[in-house]
Amino acid sequence: MAEVIYDHVTKRFDSVVAVNDLTLEVKDGEFLVLVGPSGCGKTTALRCLAGLEEVTSGDILIGDRVVTHIPPKDRDIAMVFQNYALYPHMTVYDNMAFGLKLRKVPKQEIDRRVKEAAEILGIQDLLNRKPRQLSGGQRQRVALGRAIVREPQVFLMDEPLSNLDAKLRVQTRGELIKLQRRLGVTTIYVTHDQVEAMTMGHRIAVMNQGVLQQLDTPENLYDRPANLFVATFIGSPAMNIFPAKVVSGDGSYRLVAGEVTLEVPPSHRSRLADYVDREVLLGIRPEDLEVVVGSEAQRGDTVRLPVELIEPLGAETLVHLRGPAGTLIAQGEPRIHLNPGDVVTVRVRTEHLHTFDPQTEMAIF
């Protein structure tokens, strides 16, 4: 077990910068998720740590050892690949024992570790099978087992669940979390699935175009996104974003977008001082737009908007509203009765508003 440090790591492929000046510290025993859209550099960052890619500049440390130029076999890590990469010509047992044999671990010790890992993963009965005789879920377990028996300092996982079907994925996700908490091994987990990121990680590093956008706990990432990218990437359905003008008067601030006027809560006012009479990007999460059935008096936090479309999802209903600039999605109660064309009152939880600088796209609050 060890901490992992990326120290100003840059990786270039010819003219493409895959990872751009990444500085990141993963704590001992932490489960860190690297998340971002495809091509954001998360897998490259992981492969640099594994030693499968040579970094262009910067250093990588595992524990207190600089491993930047050390070959993969000497880094004391184990990796689970997206397609599992089981050795097809070896049995499950040999697959798991392969790394230990190479390290000249005594036979009895190998046997003990393989059996122990097999028991943890519930694959004792599969040890004599070949990978082609296993189901997707079983293969995934074997790949995991192969990593566990090594007892490495760091686990690297590259989208290990993305080849499983939806149900199995949710189940395995839970098991993986429990396993990591139990073994306490520092784990770096790459995914493009933000639900996996939110549920699994102690902390999440959001990347885009090779640049680390934000590194924080799931709660903070959700409630205090550092910039527009993080705000729209985390959360489903995505945060509603539209331009609004900052207007001040009588010591209060209002955000005005077309017909919609929203009062800025007092706690956030000071941050908007520089933006008076300028446009900012206003962000509201769908669950912070409450569709109020029945007529209610207009207040500083309510707006009247026409309904465009209803999407009943069962546990919730997504209400598409015609907003000041395009569609706004509100998360309504289940079994809500609305028809397209109805004009409804929407209450905005103004304490959860987000604003972003339109030029830098950085969060104002």
Partner 1 sequence: MVGSNRLSSRILFLYVPLALFTVFLLFPFYWMLIISLKPNSLLLNTKVNPLYLTEFTLRHYRYLFENTEFPRWAWNTAVVTFGATLLSLTCSILMGYALGRFRFRGGNLMGTAVFLAYLIPPTLLFIPLSQVVVRFGIYNQYWALILTYPTFLIPFASWLLMGYFRTIPRELEECAMIDGASRIQAMWRIVMPLALPGVLSAAIFSFTLSWNEFLYALVFMGSGQMKTIPVGTVNDLIRADVFQWGPLMAAAVLGSVPVAIVYMFFVDHYVSGMTAGAVKG
Q: Please report, as ranges, the residues that interact with partner 1 according to CB under 8 A.
A: 50-52, 71-73, 75, 77-79, 81-89, 98-99, 102-103, 130-134, 136, 139, 146, 150, 163
Q: For strands 211-216 and 203-208, give the pairing.
A: antiparallel
By C-beta, is 146 or 285 nearer to partner 1?
146
- Report the 10 Å Cβ neighbour count for 242: 18
Q: Smallest distance from the beta carbon of 60 to partner 1, in angstroms?
A: 14
Q: Smallest distance from the beta carbon of 135 to partner 1, in angstroms?
A: 10
93-109 burial string, b = 16+ CB within 10 Å, else e?
Answer: bebbbbbbeeeebeeee
By C-beta, is 102 or 297 nearer to partner 1?
102
Give the residue from 233, 201, 206, 230 showing the smallest Cα distance to 217: 201
Helix (H, G, I), strand (E, B) or coil at 110: helix
For the record, the structure tokens of 335 come out as: 């079994």
At position 269, the amino acid (one-letter code) is R
Instruction: Phi first, then psi: give them for residue 50, nearest 5 degrees.
Output: -75, -20
By C-beta, is 136 or 300 nearer to partner 1?
136
Q: Smallest distance from the beta carbon of 38 to partner 1, in angstroms?
A: 17
Q: Smallest distance from the beta carbon of 30 to partner 1, in angstroms?
A: 20
By C-beta, is 19 or 305 nearer to partner 1?
19
Preceding omega of 237 cis (within 30 degrees of 0): yes
Residues 161 and 179 sit within 8 Å (Cβ to Cβ): no
What DSSP character marks residue 194? H
By C-beta, is 77 or 281 nearer to partner 1?
77
Beta bridge partners of 279: 245
By C-beta, is 79 or 176 nearer to partner 1?
79
Q: Smallest distance from the beta carbon of 39 to partner 1, in angstroms?
A: 18
Q: Smallest distance from the beta carbon of 163 to partner 1, in angstroms?
A: 4
CA 226/CA 11 separation, integer angstroms: 24
